[in-house]
Structure 1
Amino acid sequence: MTIASIRLYHLVAPLPETIGNALIFFDRRETLLVEVVDSSGLSGWGETWAAPAAAGAIIEAQLARGVLRQDPAHLGRLWHWMCDAAGSDTQGTAMTAVAALDMALHDLAARLREVPLSTLLGGAVRDRVPAYASGPFFKPGGHPYREFEREAEGYLRAGFRAIKLRSGFRPADDAATAIAVRRLMGREGTLMLDFNQSYTPRAALAAAEAMGPADLLWIEEPASPQDLAGYRMLAGQLRPALAGGETYGTAAEFKPFLDAGCMDVLQPDIAICGGLSGVGRVASLAELYDRPVVPHVWGGTVNFHAALHLAATLPTHRAGGAAPFPYLEFDAGPNPLLDLAGRPTVNADGTVSVPSGPGLGIDIRTEALIPHTIWHRSLDS
Structure 2
Amino acid sequence: MTIAAIRLYHLVAPLPEVIGNALVFFDRRETLLVEIRDSAGRSGWGECWQAPAAAKAIIESRLAGLLLGQDAQAITRHWHAMLDAAGTDRGGPALIAVSGLDIALHDLAARQQGVPLSTLLGGRIRDRIPAYASGPFFKPGGHPYRDFERDAEKYLRAGFRAIKLRSGFDPADDAATALAIRRLMGADGTLMLDFNQSYAPRAALAAARRMEEANLLWIEEPTIPDDLAGYRMLAPHLVPSLAGGETFGSASAFLPFLEAGCMDVLQPDIAICGGLTGTKRVAMLGEIFERPVVPHVWGGIVNFQAALHVTATLPAIRSGARLGAYPFLEFDAGPNPLLDLCGRPQLNADGTVSVPDAPGLGIEIEPDKFANLVSSHCNIEQ
Indicate whether the TM-score tops 0.5. Answer: yes
Shift of 1:99: 0.2
Q: Which residue of 2 aligns with 1:371?
A: 372
Q: What SS does the aligned partner of 2:193 have?
A: strand
Question: In the alignment, residue 243 of structure 1 is paired with which amino acid?
Answer: A
Return the alpha-carbon distance in structure 2 between the equivalents of residues 345 and 208 of structure 1: 33
Instruction: Report the equivalent of 1:340.
Output: 341
Residue type matched to 1:32 in 2?
Answer: L
Q: Which residue is 2:12 aligned to?
A: 12
SS of corresponding position for 2:132: strand
- Give, as a single letter, the amino acid of the residue that structure 2 aligns with 1:359: G
Please give the alpha-carbon distance, in whole angstroms, between the structure 1 residues aligned to 2:334 and 2:78: 35
Q: What is the distance in 2 between the residues matched to 1:161 and 1:69?
A: 47
Tell me the equivalent position of 1:219. 219
Alignment of structure 1 residues 193-232 onto 2, 5 Å: 193-232=193-232
2-side partners of 1:79 and 1:157: how far apart?
43
1:139 aligns with 2:139: yes
Letter in 1 for 2:363: I
**Alpha-carbon shift at residue 65 of structure 1 (Å):** 0.7
2:294 equivalent in structure 1: 294
Q: 2:204 corresponds to which letter in structure 1? A: A
Question: What's 2:160 paired with?
Answer: 160
How many angstroms apart in 2 are the aligned matches of 1:265 and 1:24?
24
Within 2, Cα distance between the matches of 1:314 and 1:48? 23
Whether 2:81 is the aligned partner of 1:81: answer yes
* Cα distance in 2, alignment partners of residues 158 and 87 from structure 1: 46
Distance 2:264 2:90 in 1: 23
Partner of 2:66: 66
* Alignment-derived partner of residue 352 in structure 1: 353
- The letter for the 1-side match of 2:21 is N
Matches within 5 A, 1:210-359: 210-322=210-322, 323-359=324-360
| Cα shift readout 1:305-357 (whole Å, capped 9, x = no counterpart) | 00000000000010212111101000000000000011101101000001110
Are 2:176 and 1:176 equivalent residues in the alignment? yes
Distance 2:62 2:249 in 1: 18
Superposition deviation, residue 90 in structure 1? 2.0
User: What is the alpha-carbon distance in structure 1 between the residues aligned to residue 89 and residue 146 of structure 2?
Assistant: 41
Q: Secondary structure at the match of 1:376?
A: strand
Match of 1:35 in 2: 35
Partners of 1:312 and 1:326 in 2: CA distance = 8
**What amino acid maps onto 2:377 in structure 1?**
H
Residues in 2 aligned to 1:112 and 1:135: alpha-carbon distance in whole angstroms: 37
- Paired AA for residue 131 in structure 2: A
Aligned equivalents of 1:377, 1:231: Cα separation in 2 = 43
1:78-131 deviation per Cα after TM superposition (whole angstroms, max 9, x unaligned): 001011111122221100000000000000000000000000000000000000
Give the Cα separation in 1 of the matches to 2:321 and 2:72.
39
Write the letter of the residue equivalent to 1:27.
D
SS of alignment partner, residue 219 of structure 1: strand
- Tell me the CA shift for residue 25 of structure 1: 0.2
Output the CA distance in 1 between the equivalents of 2:256 and 2:265.
14
In structure 2, the partner of 1:148 is 148
How far does residue 278 in structure 1 lie from its aligned partner after superposition?
0.4
What is the alpha-carbon distance in structure 1 between the residues aligned to residue 139 and residue 350 of structure 2?
30
- Tell me how far apart the structure 1 counterparts of residues 127 and 208 of structure 2 sit (CA, whole Å): 34
| Distance in 2, Cα, partners of 1:132 & 1:204 | 23
- Gapped runs of 5+ residues in structure 2? none
Q: Distance in 1 between matches of 2:23 and 2:200?
A: 13
With the length of structure 2 as denominator, give the TM-score of the two structures: 0.99
TM-score, structure 1 as length reference: 0.99
CA distance in 1, matches of 2:179, 2:317: 26
The CA RMSD measured in Å over matched residues stands at 0.5
Aligned length: 381
Deviation, 1:144, is 0.6
**C-alpha distance after superposition, 1:242-267 (max 9, x if no partner):** 00000011001000000000000000
